[in-house]
Chain A
Amino acid sequence: DIQMTQFPPTLSASVGDRVTITCRASQNTNDWLAWYQQKPGKAPKLLIYKASSLDRGVPSRFSGGVSGTEFTLTIRSLQPDDSATYFCQHYDNYAWTFGQGTKVDIK
């Protein structure tokens, strides 16, 4: 089974900063990788699917990428509303696996 390791677990950044969150696969894999944003008391919200496709209505400051076994979520210019926990999620061989989450705080 492919394991996904997400890091960092927490990060604190200022409004306007560029922020990157990474999910590393334990081996070479496909690009069925999604990113979610979750705010307290709410269900996760899909941001990115298939590694780099922005879901409808998601601000363009969010982007997804992949290099080798590392998938990244980048927030180009952090906004106060981006304070949340972010999760990656991977699909392979009829199993869907989530990363451990990254809590993003605004300084």
Chain B
Amino acid sequence: EVHAVESGGVLVQPGGSLRLSCSKSGFSFSDSSMNWVRQTPGKGLEWLAHISSSSSAIYYADSVKGRFIISRDNAKISLYLQMDSLRDEDTALYYCARGRDQAFDNWGQGTLVTVSS
């Protein structure tokens, strides 16, 4: 399994696993819902997962349901995305972003994930 903080790039083999981390400051992390969004040249922007401030509500896009798990640790001011059974089509730039008024602000700088053998 590979770990990546939201910066730089990561190469993973198809079928492999990867855990993304995101640590955001500048707002009250523990009071904020958080999301993962990815972007590819072909499919544009795609929302992947949402987690409420207390982790009581979690939602996933159909494209990643059952393969990706979003979680957070408010004490560490950190958001995570566990990505399993990775496919070529998961190759993308992955962003974390705060949820506000059903929109996204405070975006991270993004992590490039490449799934390739």
Contact = CB atoms under 8 A, between A and B. Distances in A.
Same complex: yes
B39 to A, nearest CB: 8
B45 A43 contact: no
Contacts of B110: 43
A32 B103 CA distance: 8
Contacts of B61: 95
Contact of A46 (B35, B44, B47, B103): B103
A43 B97 CA distance: 10
A74 B46 CA distance: 24
Interface string B39-62: 000001111001000000001010
A104 to B, nearest CB: 16
Interface residues of A, number: 22
Contact of B45 (A44, A45, A94, A95): A44
A45 B47 CA distance: 15
Contact of A95 (B47, B104, B105): B47
Contacts, number: 58
Nearest to A47: B103
A94 B109 CA distance: 25
Interface of B: 35, 44-47, 50, 59, 61, 95, 97, 100-105, 107-110
20 contacts: A32-B102, A32-B103, A34-B104, A43-B95, A43-B97, A43-B108, A44-B104, A44-B107, A49-B100, A49-B101, A49-B102, A50-B101, A50-B102, A87-B45, A94-B50, A95-B59, A98-B47, A100-B44, A101-B44, A101-B45
